Amino acid sequence: MVSERGLEVLRVIVQDYVESREPVGSKSIVDRYGFGVSPATIRNDMAALEEDGLIAAPHTSSGRIPTDKGYRMFVDHLAEIRPMTPAQRHAIQTFLGEGADLDDVLGRTVRMLSQLTNQVALVQVPVLPRSRVRHVEMVRLSPTRLLVVLITDNGHVDQRTVEVPHESAPLDDESLADLRARLNTLLVGRLLAETPPLLAELGDTVPPGSRAVLQRVTDVIGAQVDDRRQDRLVMAGAANLARTEKDFPGSILPVLEAIEEQVVLLRLFSEMELDSRGVSVSIGRENGSLGLGEASILAGGYRSPAGALGHIGVLGPTRMDYSGNIAAVRAVARYLSKLLGDD
């Protein structure tokens, strides 16, 4: 049974270990934090903590370090979120200030977050199904190639070139304009998810010459709806991983691999439930993947009035500054929501 003071001891062990990367011993605890008891007493508490699997000793005779379970306890019950300093708030605001296109904003956000936390920062590019069509544009690049641009109301622009089948008559400007007008009339304001059936209907009403083209456009939009392209991650701060190399016993290789893989991280993001503070934490082995057993992931959600849009988070060694990083993720997520939401 872990006592009240036992939890305090756990807290200082986590804090100390995060700060120094040294296993922390009973004597150094009383030296630095003066609990008003002797080292021997602390040792008893530590024995209880170890019994509960909250801390462990790397080898028989050395201080203790937190286990994944210990970090979990710390994060859930012991950590106080350290609010951002005014300077940091200001930095976020000015750095993210100027609105530009979506990719730009996400890129700057993720760089900001990685600097703030000294970790790898990740942001998920918004999922699209909930967004609405603003405009469909088609530009002929050559007699057989067409650039289809789909603009949605969350500021996303998707572009693809499509090949127009040779067997169909080359498309003239007029019928292209006609098709563009029909498409826009039909689709603008609709949810992306609603479009496929509408497009199918439209198929019967257009002149035969345009059918093939319409088919391609339909494909593009359909691809948008369920394509995994929407599940993309933007990343920054990989160099920070090398900086915390010491915290990954084997090597940072599997971590870098997991990051490039993306799939693993996207799954983790999607599985994480945001807690009351709006930031969720997955610690060490909790995140399943073999390569990430020594890493923790913090995830926050950002949203616009249109609904939840995506996750933003940081990845670092389990031995990280949870208090500060949770605050940073939360703050950046909020600013990002504000930035995207004020339209």
- Give the shortest CB-15-to-DNA separation in angstroms: 15
Determine, following the binding rule CB under 7 A, whether residue 182 of this chain makes contact with DNA. Answer: no
Over the window 240 to 259, marking each residue x when it contacts a copy of itself by CB under 8 A and - when it does not, the resulting string is -xxx-x-----xxx--xx-x
Determine, following the binding rule CB under 8 A, whether residue 5 of this chain makes contact with a copy of itself. Answer: no
Determine, following the binding rule CB under 7 A, whether residue 62 of this chain makes contact with DNA. Answer: yes
Q: How far is CA 317 from CA 134, 172, 305, in A?
A: 42, 58, 34
Q: Which stretch binds a copy of itself (CB under 8 A): 146-154, 208-216, 297-305, 325-333?
A: 146-154
Determine, following the binding rule CB under 7 A, whether residue 50 of this chain makes contact with DNA. Answer: yes
Over the window 293 to 332, marking each residue x when it contacts DNA by CB under 7 A and - when it does not, the resulting string is ----------------------------------------
Contacts (Cβ under 8 Å, ≥6 apart) of 201 = none
User: Nearer to a copy of itself by C-beta: 2 or 176?
Assistant: 176
User: Could you tell me how many helices (H) and strands (E) the chain has, helices first?
Assistant: 13, 10
Around Cβ 213, how many Cβ atoms within 10 Å?
22
Angle between helices 86-96 and 102-117 (to 10 degrees): 160
Applying CB under 8 A, among 20, 142, 170, 177 the residue interacting with a copy of itself is: 142
User: Nearer to a copy of itself by C-beta: 137 or 194?
Assistant: 137
Note whether 148 and 159 are within 8 A (CB): yes
Question: CA 235 to CA 20: how far, in whole Å?
Answer: 27
Determine, following the binding rule CB under 7 A, whether residue 37 of this chain makes contact with DNA. Answer: yes
Q: How far is CA 96 from CA 122, 173, 232, in A?
A: 16, 42, 21
Determine, following the binding rule CB under 8 A, whether residue 160 of this chain makes contact with a copy of itself. Answer: yes
- Give the shortest CB-64-to-DNA separation in angstroms: 6
SS3 state at 64: strand
Rg (CA), the chain: 26
Residue 98 binds which of a copy of itself, DNA, none (CB < 5-8 A, kind-dependent): none
Determine, following the binding rule CB under 7 A, whether residue 7 of this chain makes contact with DNA. Answer: no
Question: CA 11 to CA 27: how far, in whole Å?
Answer: 16
Determine, following the binding rule CB under 7 A, whether residue 267 of this chain makes contact with DNA. Answer: no
Question: CA 264 to CA 24: how far, in whole Å?
Answer: 33
User: Nearer to DNA by C-beta: 25 or 324?
Assistant: 25
Q: Which amino acid belongs to residue 38?
A: S
SS3 state at 113: helix
Applying CB under 8 A, among 57, 102, 176, 198 the residue interacting with a copy of itself is: 102
- Please work out, in degrees rounded to the nearest 5, the angle formed at the alpha carbon of residue 317 by the alpha carbons of 293 and 11: 105
Question: CA 92 to CA 109: how far, in whole Å?
Answer: 8
Task: Kindly list the residues in this chain that would bind a copy of itself in the complex (CB under 8 A).
Answer: 99-102, 104, 134-135, 137, 139, 141-142, 145, 147, 149, 151, 153, 155, 157-161, 163, 229, 236-239, 241-243, 245, 251-253, 256-257, 259-260, 343
Task: Kindly list the residues in this chain that would bind DNA in the complex (CB under 7 A).
Answer: 5, 22-28, 36-41, 43-44, 46-47, 50, 57, 59-64
